């Protein structure tokens, strides 16, 4: 493995987590954002795609997390797999994915999920569960026997990484961190750090 190829190491760690019987949802990642009011928020989203362009999840662009990222694209992601004593932290800049990528992913989703994207105004306060279900039924009837097009308020957000931190918890409470940073010429460098936890 190229010693300064963090994406390759990320892929290998993700596959290890995926294949481990005691790691549920290996693609779950904690997204931390900063709002326009400098409020810090975090929530769990699911990694759906990744390459050198970045790590991508899909969401409603009217959600609080998407609005935070419009105001301040600096953010971090954390994958935490305690059952294999590993964590990955990714720091980077967020941007909306290209429309064709969002379209392709949306069309691969189950029809129920597509309808949910049309019916849901994410992060908005809904007066009752009945109101939400009524809206879903209305959308379902309106789109009966039709191909559902991706709504403009729904799509992918890609985090272009500036830094990867691969953390391994070892015996005797020793922790190893492999830190990769990219320079303005898009060249990655690596340092290792050791500490007691």
pTM above 0.85, yes or no: yes
Say whether pLDDT at 56 is over 70: yes
Known binding residues for FMN are 43-48, 58-59, 65, 122-123
Confidence of residue 180 (pLDDT cuts 50, 70, 90): very high
Say whether pLDDT at 2 is over 60: no
Longest Cα pair distance anywhere in the chain, in angstroms?
61
Which token pair is 1?
């493995």
pLDDT in tens, 4-49: 899 999 999 999 999 999 999 999 999 999 999 999 999 999 999 9
Q: Do 153 and 120 contact (CB within 8 A), yes or no?
A: no
pLDDT for res 1: 46
All structural domains of the chain: 6-108+153-196 (2.30.110.10)
Say whether pLDDT at 104 is over 70: yes
Say whether pLDDT at 127 is over 70: no
Report long-range pairs for 50-53 (Cβ below 8 Å, ≥24 apart): 50/7, 50/10, 50/11, 51/7, 52/7, 53/158, 53/160
Burial class (CB in 10 A: 0-12, 13-18, 19+), 103: middle
Q: Do 61 and 154 contact (CB within 8 A), yes or no?
A: yes
Known binding residues are 43-48, 58-59, 65, 122-123
């Amino acid at each position: 493995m190229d010693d300064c190829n963090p994406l390759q190491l990320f892929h290998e760690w993700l596959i290890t987590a995926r294949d481990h019987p005691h790691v549920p949802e290996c693609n779950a990642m904690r997204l931390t954002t900063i709002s326009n009011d400098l409020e810090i928020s975090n929530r769990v989203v699911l990694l759906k795609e990744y390459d050198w362009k970045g790590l991508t999840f899909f969401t409603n662009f009217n959600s609080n997390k998407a609005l935070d990222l419009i105001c301040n694209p600096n953010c971090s992601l954390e994958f935490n797999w305690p059952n294999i004593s590993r964590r990955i932290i990714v720091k980077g800049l967020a941007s909306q994915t290209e429309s064709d990528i969002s379209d392709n992913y949306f069309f691969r989703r189950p029809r129920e999920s597509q309808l949910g994207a049309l019916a849901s105004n994410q992060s908005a306060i809904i007066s009752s569960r009945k109101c939400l279900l009524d809206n879903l039924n209305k959308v379902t009837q309106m789109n009966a026997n039709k191909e559902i097009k991706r709504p403009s308020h729904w799509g992918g957000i890609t985090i272009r990484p500036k830094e990867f931190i691969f953390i391994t918890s070892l015996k005797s409470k020793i922790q190893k961190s492999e830190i990769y940073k990219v320079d303005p010429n898009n060249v990655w460098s690596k340092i290792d750090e050791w500490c007691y936890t």
